[in-house]
Amino acid sequence: MKLIVTVMPKNGVLDPQGKAIEHALGTLGFEAVGEVRTGKVIELELAETDPARARAQAEEMARKLLANTVIESFRVELA
């Protein structure tokens, strides 16, 4: 079963990479670009076939390893 974990900086946490992209898009001529935020996406292949249990496993992985929950939030989707 394939799952997608998306990890984003929490609101209020500085995102210098996002700011750099925002600036670069302006330089490339893209106007009317508002806030840009960047994060990570992790695609996992789990042997678990039950969707609820697979999701619970992925959430535990996110809490323990994939995300720093002090400054990042995460969401888990089934792919």
Binding site for a second copy (CB under 8 A): 6, 8, 18, 21, 24-25, 28, 30-48, 57, 60-61, 64-66
CB of 70: closest distance to a second copy in angstroms?
A: 19
- Residue 29 or 70 having the CB closest to a second copy: 29
CB of 29: closest distance to a second copy in angstroms?
A: 9
Beta-carbon contacts of residue 38 (< 8 Å; ≥ 6 apart): 9, 15, 17, 18, 21
- Bridge pairing between strands 2-9 and 72-78: antiparallel
CB of 28: closest distance to a second copy in angstroms?
A: 6
Reduce the DSSP state of residue 51 to 3 states and report it.
Answer: helix
- Residue 41 or 71 having the CB closest to a second copy: 41
Rounded CA separation 35/57 (Å): 32
